[in-house]
Structure 1
Amino acid sequence: MRVTGRALNRAIGDRVRAARLARGLSLADLSARTGDSLSVSRISHYELGQRRLSIEAARTLATALGDVSAAHLLGVDADDAPGADSAEARLLAAFRATDAEGRHRLLTVAVSGADCGAPGSGSE
């Protein structure tokens, strides 16, 4: 299936918006977190799919958002990779959708499971 440039821009914009809203940030808040290197207008254009997000801008936004990767914003992260199973994708989506306390709890459970030799932890 061929993805058009406009559809790709929109998908990337949806990821940027979702990441921003998940953190409770306004466009102005996010712009300020970039040190105003990305204006409110520019970020809005990315979110609306009217402008293609560059790698450099994705890195700037990822840093400003704190716990999201530029690869995720651009749609090229591991959850899009062939071989990633649905449970992995659901876990990643749940992690990204929750607040800081929820992410901490998920990480605590995941790390404690890996530390005790849970299946798939690599310690078998």
Structure 2
Amino acid sequence: MAGSVNQDPDFDADHRRALGKRLRELRLSRGVKAEELRDQLHDDLCVGTLLSYEVGDRRMTVQRYVEICKVLGVNASVLLEQVDRDLGAAPIWVRASLLSKTRDPQLRPLRTWAAARHVGVPVPSARRLIEFDRRTLLFAAQLCGLDPEELASRLQGMCDKRSCAAETG
């Protein structure tokens, strides 16, 4: 695809494993065998595929995920929030004005984006902050050619909690 960023094929492995673990725990806590769950789903699915979701080896479609959640009697959104908490994925908040002025050459793609998207646009004060959740951080790190932990460290240095809290509050 033209203009796309090369993506690590395992960029979401942590999420797949955490989500699979939650789904397996739910299934087992309800006393449902994998075969029984498979039988309640709408199309042919082998038990091996279902089990590969539970260990995070295979990606599932959103449709399949929602269907499994319905069969297990759990809200799909709530389960995703639990997975996010399981991963300890606290977002990093950065002032757009600071990011758009950074002189760090490796943050140039983010600087350009922040300047074009956030600076000088009349928006509510909360919009002056950019939220980097885990997924956004992973993509941004790839874009900048940095390790996600290194990018997180650089971004955290751009915004102290008091000033960012004042802008969002």
Q: Which residue of 2 aligns with 1:59?
A: 66
CA RMSD in angstroms comes to: 2.7
Report deviation, 1:28: 0.2
After TM superposition, list the pairs within 5 Å mapping 1:28-39 onto structure 2: 28-39=35-46
The answer to whether the aligner puts 1:76 opposite 2:81 as a matched pair is yes
Report deviation, 1:29: 0.8
**Aligned partners of 1:10 and 1:48 also within 8 Å:** yes
**Aligned partners of 1:27 and 1:40 also within 8 Å:** yes
Aligned length in residues:
78
- Unpaired segments ≥5 residues, structure 1: 83-124
Following TM superposition, where does structure 1 have runs of at least 4 consecutive aligned residues deviating by more than 4 angstroms? 79-82
**How does the TM-score come out when normalised to structure 1?**
0.52
What percent identity do the matched residue pairs reach?
Answer: 33
**How does the TM-score come out when normalised to structure 2?**
0.40
Q: Which has the higher strand share?
A: 2
Q: Which residue of 2 aligns with 1:42?
A: 49
Point out the structure with max Rg over C-alpha: 2
Determine the C-alpha separation between the residues in 2 that align with 1:47 and 1:6.
Answer: 12
Q: Deviations over 1:83-106 (max 9, x none)?
A: xxxxxxxxxxxxxxxxxxxxxxxx
